[in-house]
Amino acid sequence: MGKSYQRALSGVTVAAKGYFDALVKLGELASDSQGSKELGDTLFQMAEVHRQIQVQLEETLKLFHSELMAQLEQKLELDVKYLLATLKKYQSEHRAKAEAIEKCQAELKKLRKKCQSSKNPQKYGDREVQYVEVMSAKQSELDRFVAEGYKAALTEERRRYSFLVDRQCAVSKHFSAYHAKPKPIKSPALSGLFRFRILD
């Protein structure tokens, strides 16, 4: 979406350049005329104002690219690698912890079968309690791991959005400065325009 926006703004600058080139040509034609020389000078002034605005817009577009688009592309590339590696590590650790619990459950199931088929089931009671405690501890460890992973994922997500907000603020600041700059440029150059009256 950002690249489409950038292309659209670039298209506007090309169209604007064509427009003020046309103003210069019209100014040249008017300057050659006996009755419209002053209007030709005014058109030259207007074309110069447009040229200055165009230069500022192009500078702003360069900043848009360097401050936002290029940095987002670079950050995205690094983040994809980092997040994929982090996800792979998380999944591997999660799988190992879950498998440890499954192993305990399988051992407990075997022990209970032995207990049921044994003539002396009391001798397995202490071992069963130990398996239940180990399984409970491993489940608590897995729950903590999942909670910490969730918290880390939220922190990483916030970092990404914070970066985007920071870059967007920088770009907005440049666009705001761009829109504020043309006012001083336009005022002196165009103040004399209003003295002309359209002739019927």
Q: Please tell me the distance from the alpha carbon of residue 96 to that of residue 131, in angstroms, as a whole number.
A: 18
Domain ranges of the chain: 2-193
Which residues have a Cβ under 8 Å from the Cβ of 190 and sit 6 or more positions away? 45, 46, 49
SS3 of residue 199 by DSSP: coil
DSSP 124: G
**One pLDDT digit (tens) per residue for the chain, 200 residues:** 667 777 777 787 788 788 888 888 888 888 888 888 888 888 888 888 878 877 887 888 788 788 888 888 888 889 999 999 999 999 999 999 999 999 989 988 888 888 777 777 677 777 888 888 999 999 999 999 999 999 999 999 999 899 888 888 888 887 787 777 655 555 454 555 545 544 44
Q: CA dist 150 to 24, 113, 140, 153, 168, Å?
A: 62, 38, 15, 5, 27
This prediction's pTM? 0.62
CATH class of 2-193: mainly alpha
Q: CA dist 14 to 51, 88, 153, 181, Å?
A: 12, 47, 44, 20
- DSSP labels, 136-196: HHHHHHHHHHHHHHHHHHHHHHHHHHHHHHHHHHHHHHHHHHHHHTHHHHHHHHHGGGGG-
